[in-house]
Chains A and B, each alone.
Chain A
Amino acid sequence: MHDLIANLSMGFGVAAQPYNIMLCLIGAVVGTLIGVLPGIGSLATIAMLLPITFGLPPVGALIMLAGIYYGAQYGGSTTSILVNIPGESSSVVTTLDGHQMAKQGRAGPALAIAAIGSFVAGCFATILVAALGVPLTSIALMFGPAEYFSLMVLGLIFAVVLASGSVLKALAIILVGLLLSMVGSDLETGVSRMAFDIPEMSDGIGFVQVAMGVFGFGEILRNLDNPGSRDIVQSKVTGLMPTIADLKASAGAITRGTVLGSILGILPGGGTIIAAFAAYTLEKKVSKNPERFGRGAIEGVAAPESANNAASQTSFIPLLTLGIPPNAVMALMVGAMTIHGIVPGPQVMTKQPELFWGMIASMWIGNLALVVINLPMVGVWVRLLRVPYRLLFPMIIIFCLVGIYSLNNSPFDVAMTALFGVVGYWLIKHDFEPAPMLLGMVLGPLMEENLRRAMLIARGDATVFLTRPLSASLLVLSLILLVLAVLPSIRKRRDEVFVEE
């Protein structure tokens, strides 16, 4: 406990430096700015804004990225409430009651309670991340290559099981990601693999290019396909503050959502989405008059918003302690860390404590920034939503392109984004979910390395994954999960969870 306080205060010492606070604030505002745009989720937002953090020192860059992440999430809920278009899948549930509230002229309280709920959840989750960081890291140090490999298999299976749609297709698309990650020089022998004699490919296919192409351009193309009219709340947003009755009604919902979200966020896979859905369902179950839900119940906004924020924060735990990104957003974070020369994993905490704790502290500051800056700016976001899409998308495109080009000053990277934009659009049309591909792409090198090492240590005996107890139990768990996901009765329930999407 004493250590925890000492560590956290060191973290706040780092995060509270004026420069870092400024970066966190800028990140939160810019993240909201992009996240508010309909149809652009937090993944696409982070992918687009990643390049602007490259010139910063590592701590500053990660703090800014954390700010962008929370900003994007908050922006997503703003769009859900005001336009009834979820900015991302985790705020789908928010549209149900949030937009109803907005239609009744209570957009202000809805937005405020979303921010307050997120802030409370963020405070709790920050402490949880700090508290669980140390013990989990010591577990991670006991892991050998075989255990790491099995753990990553488990993570990928989780991602498959928790994703919507066909399990088979999700598995296949993960393998595509793994294959993509293997383009370029082999780490051990330096031999160029699948690079087709293109010198730029010998470093591998850039993660940012793929993310930007598949998520950024893919989504723009999809939005251009269905120009459907937007149902923006036209009335002025007045009366921002929720009443005492609102606060009383949502206090319980926020608490339950926070706890539920924190637990679900640690699980690998689409933690935030599940958290939001689960919290909404729970509220409906415990409510005395469940028929109010879907007609503008404030609990229906408070619970899922707290839950998805708590989950998005606790999903940093596997990343920071084990070095394994539990979802696609965290995978992007790994990409950003690697660009700054940081290898995520247990050694980050011991070798760069100021980075580790500074980032945790900045999560809290980022949350605070959202409440302080964003709420007064709601009017600006509303006006932004009225900008026609025909003007918005060329702007997004040009920022993405300049950002991509500035990575390596290479037109090759830009052309790669075009190719992956086509791929992303194709994936959407064929109903493949692209997020697992990104996760596979990030985990690919780690998986290959650990697989190779484990096999080498075991002298080519593949049963090593089953004879080491920890590794075996992880693999058995993955198998059970996979079987459960394919079982017809569970499948049906799982599809019901996603039915609102």
Chain B
Amino acid sequence: MSEGVNSSPNAAIVRSQEHAGFAGGIIVAFAVITIAASIYNKGFQFFGPGLEPRVIAVLVGALGIAVMMRKVVIRNEQDFYGGLALVGLAIVALLATADLQGMRGFAFGPATAPRLFAGLLALLGGAVAITGLLTEAPPLERYDLTAPTLWSLAYFVFHFSEGMVWQTLAIGMIVLGVVLAYLSLRNPARRQMVRGPIFLVLAVLVFAETIRPMGLVFATFVTVLVSALATPEARWRETVIWGAALTVFCSLLFPYALALPFMLWPKFWY
């Protein structure tokens, strides 16, 4: 996983140069999508509310292009990408509050404090990203959270949006996540790295999806089975026995001992 042998500071630079096109491309894509979404949302108005996030997004996009063209050298991947992600979060927050009332005279509106803090976050995030260009650090410990992120976001899109477009998008995200997860799990070099996050997040989402319709017993058992796959040490028979034991324990502890209102069995049983 972490490249222990060649972990000289240069390794980070070498690797960041290899991936520069891809990484820069993602940064540019993020900037373009946010700008486009905000302009679309405002009825194709280029100025007015939502100008600050667009300006920040343009700056981020410019940085992304610089990365793609290999004009800048990322010496400290942790800080560079970490800082950029925080700037991205600040842009999202600024866009989400763009429609709300700001200052009214000297009284704070609902959007004043969030914008203030988001603005500060953009500044500090930017500063962190810039330290990532100036300081040296060993390469980032590899990780891949694409599938778990896609799935957990898809849960919200699927359940809390209306209209064909969004529903299709959510299903697309799930399918994409499954394909990526399958490919990564097939690949021996990446299996160990992706295994934990994929099965853990999957287990949590399985619990969220099954607890209402199927009841506590089913949800607990399935969740234990799925989460046990998160480690390569999992053994079938042991896991099934353990899952059954935990299911019995949970179905006694929570509804009876702690008197919490839980449905034990699937809805159609009642």
* Residues in A lying within 8 Å of B, measured CB to CB: 52, 55, 166, 168-169, 171-173, 175-176, 178-179, 182, 186, 188-189, 191, 193-194, 196-200, 217, 220-221, 224-225, 227, 388-391, 393-395, 397-399, 401-402, 405-406, 409, 411-412, 414-415, 417-419, 421-422, 425-426, 429-432, 448, 451-452, 455-456, 459-461
Contact = CB atoms under 8 A, between A and B. Distances in A.
Contacts of B57: none
Interface string B179-216: 00000000000000001110011011101110110001
Interface in B108-164: 108-114, 117-118, 120-121, 124-125, 127-128, 131, 140-141, 143, 145, 148-149, 151-153, 155-156, 159-160
9 contacts: A166-B128, A169-B128, A172-B86, A172-B127, A197-B160, A397-B203, A397-B227, A415-B156, A418-B208
B86 A418 contact: no
B106 interface: yes
B176 interface: no
B111 A175 contact: no
A402 B250 CA distance: 8
B38 interface: no
A172 B128 contact: yes
Nearest to B145: A422
A405 B201 contact: no
A415 B204 contact: yes
B125 to A, nearest CB: 6
Contacts of B155: 415, 418
B96 A55 contact: no
Nearest to A223: B196
Given A390-B233, A418-B208, 11 more contacts: A182-B114, A390-B234, A394-B227, A394-B246, A398-B246, A398-B250, A402-B216, A402-B254, A412-B208, A417-B204, A429-B78
A430 B208 contact: no
Label chain B's interface by main secondary structure. helix
B118 to A, nearest CB: 6
A240 to B, nearest CB: 31
A178 B151 CA distance: 26
Nearest to A390: B233
B153 A419 contact: yes
A422 B213 CA distance: 26
B228 A425 contact: no
Contacts of B143: 425-426, 429
Contacts of A451: 108, 113
A148 to B, nearest CB: 15
A398 B160 contact: no
Contacts of B81: 430
Label chain A's interface by main secondary structure. helix
Given A179-B114, A421-B200, A430-B78, A393 B227 contact: yes
B145 to A, nearest CB: 5
Contacts of A389: 231, 233
Contact of A198 (B160, B239, B262): B160
A199 B82 CA distance: 30
A422 B111 contact: no
Contacts of B262: 402, 406
Contacts of A411: 208-209, 211-212
Contacts of A227: 231, 233
Contact of A179 (B89, B106, B211, B233): B89
Contacts, number: 212
B4 interface: no
Interface stretch (B12-20, B44-52, B97-105): B97-105
A459 to B, nearest CB: 5
Contacts of A168: 124, 127-128, 131
Contacts of A189: 101, 109-110
A191 B211 contact: no
B43 interface: no
B108 A452 contact: yes
Contacts of B239: 394
Given A198-B156, A418-B148, A422-B197, A172 B208 contact: no
Contacts of A405: 207, 211
The 4 closest A-B pairs by CB, nearest first: A460-B106, A430-B82, A186-B110, A224-B196
B124 A414 contact: no
A194 B97 CA distance: 6
Interface string B68-107: 0000000000110111011001100100110011000111
Nearest to B151: A418
A164 to B, nearest CB: 15
Contacts of A224: 195-196, 200, 230-231
Given A391-B242, A393-B227, A398-B224, A425 B145 contact: yes
Nearest to A427: B82
Contacts of B216: 402
B255 to A, nearest CB: 10
A350 B16 CA distance: 59
Contacts of B140: 429-430
Contact of B78 (A172, A193, A397, A431): A431
B152 A179 contact: no
Given A419-B152, A422-B148, A188 B211 contact: no
Contacts of B261: 409
B5 interface: no
Contacts of A432: 82
